[in-house]
Structure 1
């Protein structure tokens, strides 16, 4: 049975800034969340995201047998799915007492998502992923300032659970943190290879399945992301599919090169996975 969750009109004039995936002081990725977005058109949502400079989540009543309908915007455009904004919104709804159940369904442009809140931490599902080798990697290496010898023995791949990210395997965390991309060319390279962002990564601990990564988005209105749940799930799925790890639980560290340390956890559950991370409320803001 579907439970319709109608947002509270008390929250129609404000956004809540929620920080997700923090792994230390100054860490995490902030997401403005509007818990009652019924009066907002898409362009108004985009302007709100542009005003605050972050991926933003907008909560609407459920449709298509879902409990909620979420929309996501970055300063430049609407997105099909945003992992940390979804986690932040579900965590916030629970904190505000707006979740009648701890397990809910969400409709997004990328498809249905299940969400769960346990012990104050939110988790969301992602579907079975896929990964394909990028055959011509010259432009990818050039825009990142890399040589072929900087890669370890693992293919550059386009991978996705919701949005396509380009996984670029590096020999060391030092190489990863030292990257100085040509940001003026990132959009063109992503368009060329059919990607929404470059996600270079390095293996930190093979036994514990810990990775470090950075995200350079195709066209979001900012050059780098401190924590990208959808890219991390793509990396985890690629690692499982190609045998880089046999652990069902993968941890991705991100944002360290920006001074915003973040920690993203992905756990495999059959033909899907669960994405989770810590969340905290920073402040309320007028729209």
Structure 2
């Protein structure tokens, strides 16, 4: 029997967040079983395995119903939170091996029943799409250039490539519609794993709102996407929408799904040069299941 912890990650004021099944002791699970769990629950799922060498403390694997993922921000945070609250975390700073590369997790145990987790992401790369690629994105979302800010559509990546689409308003953002097949075809053509339209919620408070339409996860939209929010933070920096400092950037996501979620990003710098970021958020325990 395998115990599965269900958590909601990136909750906003105790609600919303992205549901995530977590298996803390997954060393005996074959890949087919991991994918089966993700398919059963219909969400990104995280699996914790012992490290293979001294370069890491744990190996994390991530699955969606259709395939294995290189990295999943909310599943990483959810797994660390679940481990910490059940007394199974070795330290408050841990090294994690993922298919996209090493990740460091920081767990603030000031409140042991509700620790706050942040994880590292590498410096983001942001590249503007060509006009032809932009037209594919606009067609996929049934919008025109008039619906966008005077900024480029960009592919951005820390761990997985996301396409940043600068909407003129939160209202326009939350009226968007998508089709899974069209989204997948568009993402395939532009080398992306998801369309991530965003809008300014409160510029002064560095608060933004976004939605994610994933390429091929097996569902049409995500309530909270940490890896996309981390990529967005570097897009905001490149586009001059945030200053080059380490103050908190807040990304709200999931409003259109009635599951408003909150993602926190803090950019890191060496002098004036960005070197990475910390991605964090709140977690709520939902329940336990056996498989």
Q: Is the contact made by 2:104 and 2:119 (CA closer than 8 Å) also made in structure 1?
A: yes
Q: What's the counterpart of residue 264 of structure 2?
A: 265
Q: Is the contact made by 1:26 and 1:259 (CA closer than 8 Å) also made in structure 2?
A: no
Q: Do structure 1's residue 198 and structure 2's residue 189 form an aligned pair?
A: no
Q: Is the contact made by 1:55 and 1:85 (CA closer than 8 Å) also made in structure 2?
A: yes
Tell me how far 1:26 sits from its aligned partner: 4.5
CA deviation digits over 1:101-139, x for unaligned, max 9? Answer: 100000000000000111311110001110100112111
Runs ≥4 residues deviating over 6 A: none
CA deviation digits over 1:46-103, x for unaligned, max 9? Answer: 1110001110000000134100000000000000000000000001100011112100
- Helix, strand or coil for the counterpart of 1:236? helix
Instruction: Please give the alpha-carbon distance, in whole angstroms, between the structure 1 residues aligned to 2:116 and 2:13.
Output: 17
- Helix, strand or coil for the counterpart of 2:284? strand
- Which deviates further from its counterpart, 191-200 or 269-278? 269-278
CA deviation digits over 1:158-184, x for unaligned, max 9? Answer: 001000000000000000000112332
TM-score (ref. length: structure 2): 0.93
Count of aligned pairs: 276
Instruction: Please give the alpha-carbon distance, in whole angstroms, between the structure 1 residues aligned to 2:180 and 2:51.
Output: 38
Q: Do structure 1's residue 282 and structure 2's residue 258 form an aligned pair?
A: no
Tell me how far 1:25 sits from its aligned partner: 6.0
Instruction: Please give the alpha-carbon distance, in whole angstroms, between the structure 2 residues aligned to 1:127 and 1:280.
Output: 26
Q: 1:42 aligns with which of 12, 15, 31?
A: 31
Q: How does 1:163-178 map to 2 (within 5 A)?
A: 163-178=160-175
- Helix, strand or coil for the counterpart of 1:18? strand
Instruction: Please give the alpha-carbon distance, in whole angstroms, between the structure 1 residues aligned to 2:177 and 2:105.
Output: 36
Residues 239 and 68 from structure 1, CA distance in 2 versus in 1: closer, same or farther, beyond 3 angstroms?
Answer: same
TM-score (ref. length: structure 1): 0.94
Instruction: Please give the alpha-carbon distance, in whole angstroms, between the structure 1 residues aligned to 2:14 and 2:218.
Output: 25
Q: What's the counterpart of residue 227 of structure 1?
A: 224
Instruction: Please give the alpha-carbon distance, in whole angstroms, between the structure 2 residues aligned to 1:151 and 1:268.
Output: 25
Q: How does 1:1-287 map to 2 (within 5 A)?
A: 13-24=2-13, 26-64=15-53, 65-118=55-108, 119=110, 120-135=115-130, 136=132, 137-246=134-243, 247-248=245-246, 249-270=248-269, 271-287=275-291
Instruction: Please give the alpha-carbon distance, in whole angstroms, between the structure 2 residues aligned to 1:24 and 1:266.
Output: 17
Instruction: Please give the alpha-carbon distance, in whole angstroms, between the structure 2 residues aligned to 1:224 and 1:182.
Output: 10
Q: What's the counterpart of residue 272 of structure 2?
A: none
Aligned Cα root-mean-square deviation (Å): 1.1
Instruction: Please give the alpha-carbon distance, in whole angstroms, between the structure 2 residues aligned to 1:171 and 1:241.
Output: 18
Instruction: Please give the alpha-carbon distance, in whole angstroms, between the structure 1 residues aligned to 2:197 and 2:281.
Output: 21
Uncovered stretches (5+) of structure 2, i.e. residues with no partner: 270-274
- Which deviates further from its counterpart, 39-48 or 221-230? 39-48
Instruction: Please give the alpha-carbon distance, in whole angstroms, between the structure 1 residues aligned to 2:89 and 2:191.
Output: 37
